Amino acid sequence: MTAGTSKDAVKAALTTQALETPSWAYGNSGTRFKVFAQPGVPRTTREKLDDAARVHAHTGVAPRVALHIPWDKVDDYAALAEYASERGVTLGAINANVFQDDDYKLGSVTNPDPAVRRKALDHLLECVDIMDATGSRDLKLWFSDGINYPGQDDIRTRQDRLSEALRTTYDRLGDDQRMLIEYKLFEPAFYATDIPDWGTAYAHCLKLGPKAQVVVDTGHHAPGTNIEFIVATLLREGRLGAFDFNSRFYADDDLMAGAADPFQLFRIMYEVVRGGGLTSDIAFMLDQCHNIEAKIPAIIRSVMNVQEATAKALLVDADALAEAQRTGDVLASNAVLMDAYNTDVRPLLAEVREDSGLDPDPMRAYQQSGWQEQIVKDRVGGEQAGWGA
Ligand code: AOS
Ligand code: ZN
Ligand code: ZN
């Protein structure tokens, strides 16, 4: 903590934090080997919103819910937004899906076939229509497009097709709407993904204009990548639009944020705080799947992990760090960061929650709320929602 950063200022910053949870994390999910269905899982988007509202009620910092089209397709999106607000949450990013259709085998907006490209583009435009109805600010674009073999298609031409689709979609955005472009190193394409890295996403954003921003999904990099460096760079350039937080051990594991490498999450949040990102327009989203653990408590735990990393980042003594860096004291500089990281911030966060009238222990509060037993009892019959359904 700097001389000028009081405990109250840290607490105030933590209270204003707003995370966005993904609708698909509340539904069943799995690997390509098996989906282990859980009792009580939502059958409809409204039920996903009910669960998301519980997460917000216990944590106080998860007021938005990202939707995925078509998994969250409904007849009346304005009514859905109304339903959400009645439960104390709002609808966040609209995630487009141009990866789950047979037509997209060779790509969506980069497909060699103009008819397939048109179909994909129409879906992106439909997502903007939905944003108009839900009042969502962000259109989140992740493309599974890419090629498996050298020579399969022309890398450069695919970039031209991508660029064209992004331009048409960008031009359709309203004044207060944004386009978030997500990159991913590989999978499902294995030789060359069309947006494999932040540089490619950034280059497209630069050409498009200020409403195009990059999404950093923490699971989408090669092992050993210094993600906080990317965060610092995008923030400096004013192009960090959002995070998809999750943990990874190997590839796109989508485990609970802060579970595999809490130190990395702290380093990322430090760069966010350092770059003024905490009070910016960055959308702090989770993009996770809870395949074997209970979903609502897993999301509460993830939210708490992001909060803890944020609290530690806010506690870095900026003055001491600047002084140690100015004098070239390598060990002292590193010690300042490590002191903050090694601080037990759980009592501070408990205070923050109590100050807002919440139970200091969201996990316990959820377990005692009876919600889990209720949904297991109520949500019988019908098809349980799942990743891809
Ligand atoms: C895919 O790997 C991505 O992380 C996307 O963010 C994707 O849109 C999300 O998982 C929901 O489909
Ligand atoms: Zn993602
Ligand atoms: Zn992913």
Query: Residues 99, 146: contact at Cβ < 8 Å?
Result: no
pTM: 0.97
pLDDT 10s digits, 259-290: 999 999 999 999 999 999 998 999 999 999 99
The domains of the chain are located at 18-316+359-378
Which DSSP symbol is given to 255? B
Task: Decide whether any atom of ligand 1 lies within 6 Å of the 252 Cβ.
Answer: yes
Q: Whose CA is nearest to atom 5 of ligand 1?
A: 142
**Is 95 close to ligand 1, i.e. is its CB under 6 Å away?**
yes
Q: Return the best residue to mutate from 20, 21, 244, 255 for the ligand 1 pocket (most ligand atoms within 8 A of CB).
A: 244
Which residues are paired to 255 by β-bridges?
A: 247
Whether ligand 1 lies within 6 angstroms of the CB of 142 is answered as yes
Q: How far is CA 225 from CA 197, 213, 219, 365, in A?
A: 11, 20, 10, 37
Cα within 13 Å of Cα(289), Cβ side: 18
Beta pairing, strands 178-182 & 212-217: parallel
Q: What does the pLDDT look like over 42-80, one tens digit per residue?
A: 999 999 999 999 999 999 999 999 999 999 999 999 999
- Closest by alpha carbon to 201, among 179, 223, 228, 232? 179
Specify the pLDDT at position 389: 53
220 Cα: distance to centroid of ligand 3 (angstroms)? 6
pLDDT beyond 80 at 40 = yes
Choose one of 24, 217, 248, 253 to mutate for the ligand 1 pocket test, by most ligand atoms within 8 angstroms of C-beta: 217
For residue 8, count CB atoms less than 10 angstroms from its CB and return exposed for 0-12, middle for 13-18, buried for 19 or more.
Answer: exposed
Query: From the alpha carbon of 184, which atom of ligand 1 is closest?
Result: 2
- Per-residue pLDDT for 236 more than 90? yes
CATH number of the 18-316+359-378 domain: 3.20.20.150
Q: Is 48 in the pocket of ligand 1 (CB under 6 A)?
A: no
Which atom of ligand 1 lies nearest, measured to the CA of 287? 10
The whole-number pLDDT of residue 3 equals 45
Atom of ligand 1 nearest to the CA of 252: 2
Query: HSE (CB half, 13 Å, CA atoms) of 42?
Result: 24
Measured by CA distance, the residue closest to atom 6 of ligand 1 is 142
User: Residue 234 — very low, low, confident or very high, per pLDDT cuts 50/70/90?
Assistant: very high
Q: Which two tokens stand for residue 278?
A: 């905490």
Q: Which is the closest atom of ligand 1 to the Cα of 244?
A: 6
ipTM above 0.90, yes or no: yes
217 close to ligand 1 (CB < 6 Angstrom): yes
- Identify the H or E element spanning 229: helix 227-236
CA-closest residue to ligand 1 atom 10: 287
User: Where on the phi/psi map is residue 382: left (φ > 0), alpha (ψ -120 to 50), or beta?
Assistant: left
Asked if 53 and 366 count as a contact pair (C-beta separation under 8 A), the reply is no
Q: What is the CA radius of gyration of the chain?
A: 21
Mutate to test the pocket of ligand 1, among 29, 144, 287 (most ligand atoms within 8 A of CB): 287
Count CB atoms within 10 A of the CB of residue 364: 11
Angle, alpha carbons 202-207-212 (nearest 5°):
60
3-state SS, one letter per residue, for 46-64: HHHHHHHHHHHHHHCCCCE
pLDDT in tens, 308-330: 999 999 999 999 999 999 999 99
The CB of 287 under 6 Å from ligand 1? The reply is yes
Helix then strand then coil, in percent of the chain rounded to 5, is: 50, 15, 40
CA distance 58 to 187: 35
Q: Which residue has the higher pLDDT, 7 or 141?
A: 141
- 184 ligand 1 Cβ < 6 A: yes
Measure the CA–CA gap between 169 and 209, rounded to whole angstroms: 12
Average the pLDDT over 120-135 and give the result: 98
Q: Helix or strand or coil: residue 156? A: helix
What confidence score (pLDDT) does residue 385 get?
A: 78
182 Cβ below 6 A of ligand 1: yes
Q: What is the pLDDT of residue 384?
A: 73
The answer to whether residues 96 and 127 touch, using CB atoms and an 8 Å cutoff, is yes
